Each structure stands twice: as C-alpha cells, then as structure tokens.
A and B are shown apart, each in its own frame.
Chain A
Amino acid sequence: EDKVVQSPLSLVVHEGDTVTLNCSYEVTNFRSLLWYKQEKKAPTFLFMLTSSGIEKKSGRLSSILDKKELSSILNITATQTGDSAIYLCAVGIMGAQKLVFGQGTRLTINP
C-alpha cells in the first residue's frame, strides 16, 4: 500500500526560528512529490519535486528531494506568524490518477 508519512505532526517555534519539516514515502512507482500549505481551508500549492538533489526555492521556503532516502524536506527560514499552517506532503504515482497525502505537519509560529 502506498504510504506518505510526515514528521513532526506538530511543531511550535518562535518567530525568527528556522524549521525543517520532513516527508518520507513508500510508493510503488514514484512520479513526483508535492508540498502544500493549508491555512484555513484550501491547500495552496508550494512546490513540485521530481529530481533528486535539486533545491526548489521560493522566498524563505525551500525544498529538496532525496530519492535514495525516499524523502523530502521543507525548510522555512526566519519564520513569521503568517507561516502558521498545516503543511501537507503528497506523492504522485506514475500511471495513477491520484496523489497520496501525508497526515500533515501543524506548524505554529509564536510572536
């Protein structure tokens, strides 16, 4: 069974800290790994990763995929209270119609 596991499930830090969120996967036929940010309702797309070792960056957020370790990390530097959200990791399966989601990491940034 295809599985995506995120850690930690919950994280509380102070504004200005740097955080690293983890995602590991066990899937039959990997195609891509995606990160989403979910604040109130709609998950919003952050990154899609398909190649190992190539960092994707957007402002203070960055992510990298390690296909050997079957994992990815999402880094957020100089965190702000607006970064508080649930961060979802999902894996796309080759030849399948769907994404398999992890359970999410709830990140809380305290001022």
Chain B
Amino acid sequence: ETGVTQTPRHLVMGMTNKKSLKCEQHLGHNAMYWYKQSAKKPLELMFVYNFKEQTENNSVPSRFSPECPNSSHLFLHLHTLQPEDSALYLCASSPLSGETQYFGPGTRLLVL
C-alpha cells in the first residue's frame, strides 16, 4: 500500500463534461505531482506543487486545471476534454520536489 490514494479509479466522460480527479497523500510529503501515462509513451509530467505552490506547468492545455489546497491534497479539474486525453493519470508525492516519488494507483480516464 503506497500511502497515496486517488479517486475515482476509473472515469468515463463526454467531451462537454466537467469532472475532477482527487489525490491524497498520507506520507507527510511537501511536493505533489500529476503525470499522464498514455500507451507506449513515457510518463509525462504535467504539474508540480511544492508546499502548495505550483512550481512547474509542463505546457499543459488549459482544459486541465490543477488545485492544491494543502500539502496533502491535489486535484485535477477537467473540462471540455478531447478523446486524445484518454490515459492513466497518476499522482505522486515526495518529501521535497525532485526527490524520490511515491505514486498513487492512478485514474483510468476515457473521454468519449
């Protein structure tokens, strides 16, 4: 058990829907990350939060909107997504940014 939880585990949404992914870490870490994992591609870093402040946005389209209310919680708000956004979205945390990261189980997203 990793100490990083994600909900929902699976999500199917239409292109006009608005949904949110949630991540929670119980490890006392100060940095949290969102990654996208598509088939046959390396993990793609999307966002980094360090002590609740966003420190990296890896040229992510504005239809993905992150929110970090505190060091333990991270959200990814989704709106007007495209079918090519279908992927596994992984959350991770680390004691400080750039250190060893511990991953949640991911949310498998399908956009129809």
Contact = CB atoms under 8 A, between A and B. Distances in A.
Contacts of A4: 42
B66 interface: no
B97 to A, nearest CB: 4
B43 A101 contact: yes
A20 B42 CA distance: 20
Contacts of B102: 45
Which of B31, B40, B101 neighbours the largest number of chain A CB atoms within 10 Å of its CB?
B101
A61 to B, nearest CB: 16
A48 B100 contact: yes
A97 interface: yes
A51 to B, nearest CB: 15
Interface of B: 2, 4, 9, 31, 33, 40-43, 45, 48, 50, 55-56, 58, 88, 90, 97-106, 108
Given A44-B2, A97-B48, A97-B98, A103 B103 contact: no
Contacts of A99: 45, 98, 101
A3 to B, nearest CB: 10
Contact of B98 (A40, A44, A92): A92
B40 A42 contact: no
Given A88-B43, A97-B56, A103-B41, A41 B98 contact: no
B42 A34 contact: no
Contact of B45 (A42, A48, A98): A98
